[in-house]
């Protein structure tokens, strides 16, 4: 990975990553409070996620202040996430579904969107409260102080060559062993048999029963992706291919989860099953969900293949 004259240590990489993601967070803070451009919220939330990933990835090497923790960053990120999720939901309903509905359902959905807009105002107040609260302000102060005078553990002097596979393999193996890969899968004499379900109602029943496993697998894919991105500059083309595949798993499972969230949120607003008040919209959701399930099965088959799993592990070990 590096020649003997250009050794990169854990603490050097940690310092750069923490500084980069901290700057991204603080850059967009004022824009989030003003609430003029939704991109500020998106960028600040992503910054929080990546900072959390960096701290988790380099925790071995860093001596951080007491308030700069994965747990505290997750709490702040959760507040930002609730508002951001509403922004995405409202955009999807307005742009992707509302124009496709008959006039009668458009009016009903427009009322539901108006109610969600009010909910968004509540979440915005919570975000402003979070960013003006002790948890965030203490985190910001201590993070800036640490960046001025970073402190490291003895492990910070490890060269990346020495420890990189050990840092990445545990997360990659957790990802590969996640039970979500087996949703809709059967075993026959030790061999994997993949689901051939094509009926939209049958797919819907399966996802209602085991969708939570896929949602958790999406989280694992996201965590794995962020870990891989931390060290992407030290690997070659094959590594970046698997990084892209992991990102693809996160994206397709996110799209399946989005349908579940849309239905859940709308049913709370409508106070009835979506099929009763908005049958055309319910049908569109069902169709989209089935399409995404079929797309998901392509990734599922890839990652349950011996060749894929062996290659992925070997690439990590070739640092």
CA angle 235, 248, 197 (to 5 degrees): 140
Q: Residues 304, 307, 312, CA angle at the centre, nearest 5°?
A: 85
Give a three-class secondary structure readout of 97-147: HHHHCCHHHHHHHHHHHHHHHHHHHHHHHHHHHHHCCHHHHHHHHHHHHHH
The structural domain count of the chain equals 2
Q: Whole domain around residue 147: which residue ranges?
A: 1-158
Put simply, whether the predicted model's pTM sits higher than 0.95 gets the answer no
Task: Say whether both 94 and 229 belong to one domain.
Answer: no
- The verdict on 190 and 128 lying in the same domain is no
Write down which residue in 131, 158, 185 finishes a domain. 158
Q: Are residues 154 and 195 in the same domain?
A: no
Residue 10 shares a structural domain with residue 140: yes
d(CA 114, CA 108): 10
Last residue of a domain, one of 158, 173, 203: 158
Q: Answer yes or no: do 183 and 130 share one domain.
A: no
Q: How far is CA 74 from CA 47, 122, 312, in A?
A: 11, 20, 28
Same domain, 309 and 174: yes
Whether residue 183 sits in one domain with residue 100: no
Same domain, 240 and 123: no
Distance of alpha carbon 251 from alpha carbon 286, whole angstroms = 18
Give tens-digit pLDDT for 122-143: 999 999 999 999 999 999 999 9
Question: Are both 143 and 177 inside the same structural domain?
Answer: no
Q: Looking at residue 4, what is its pLDDT?
A: 46
Residues facing 9 on adjacent strands = 159
Residues 116 and 172 in one domain: no
Spatial separation of the C-alpha atoms in residues 192 and 43, rounded to whole Å: 40
Does one domain contain both 186 and 132?
no
Residues of the chain short of pLDDT 70, as ranges, are 1-5, 319
CA 126 – CA 122 distance, rounded (Å): 7
pLDDT tens for each residue of 54-64: 999 999 999 99
């Amino acid at each position: 990975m590096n020649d003997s004259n250009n050794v990169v240590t854990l603490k050097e990489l940690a310092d750069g990553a923490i500084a980069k993601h901290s700057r991204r967070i603080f850059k967009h803070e004022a824009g989030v409070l003003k609430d003029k451009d939704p991109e500020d919220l998106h960028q600040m939330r992503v910054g929080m996620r990546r900072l959390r990933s960096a701290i988790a990835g380099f925790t071995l090497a860093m001596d951080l202040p007491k308030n700069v923790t994965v747990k505290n960053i997750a709490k702040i990120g959760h507040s930002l996430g609730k508002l951001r999720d509403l922004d995405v939901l409202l955009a999807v309903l307005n742009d992707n579904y509302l124009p496709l509905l008959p006039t009668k359902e458009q009016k009903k959905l427009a009322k539901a969107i108006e109610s969600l807009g009010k909910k968004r105002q509540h979440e915005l107040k919570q975000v402003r409260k979070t960013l003006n609260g002790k948890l965030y302000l203490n985190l910001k102060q201590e993070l800036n102080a640490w960046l001025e005078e970073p402190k490291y553990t003895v492990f910070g002097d490890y060269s990346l060559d020495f420890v990189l596979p050990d840092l990445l393999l545990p997360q990659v193996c957790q990802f590969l062993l996640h039970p979500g890969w087996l949703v809709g899968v059967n075993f026959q004499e030790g061999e994997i048999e993949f689901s051939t379900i094509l009926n939209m109602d049958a797919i819907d029943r399966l996802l209602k029963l085991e969708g939570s496993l896929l949602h958790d697998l999406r989280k694992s894919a996201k965590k794995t992706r962020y870990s891989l991105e931390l060290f992407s500059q030290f690997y070659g083309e094959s590594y970046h291919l698997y990084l892209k595949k992991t990102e693809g798993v996160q994206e397709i499972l996110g799209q399946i989860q989005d349908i579940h969230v849309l239905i859940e949120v709308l049913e709370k607003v409508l106070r009835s099953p979506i099929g009763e008040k908005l049958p055309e919209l319910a049908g569109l959701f069902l169709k989209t969900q089935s399409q995404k399930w079929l797309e998901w099965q392509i990734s599922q088959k890839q990652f349950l293949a011996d060749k894929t799993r062996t290659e992925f592990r070997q690439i990590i070990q070739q640092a």
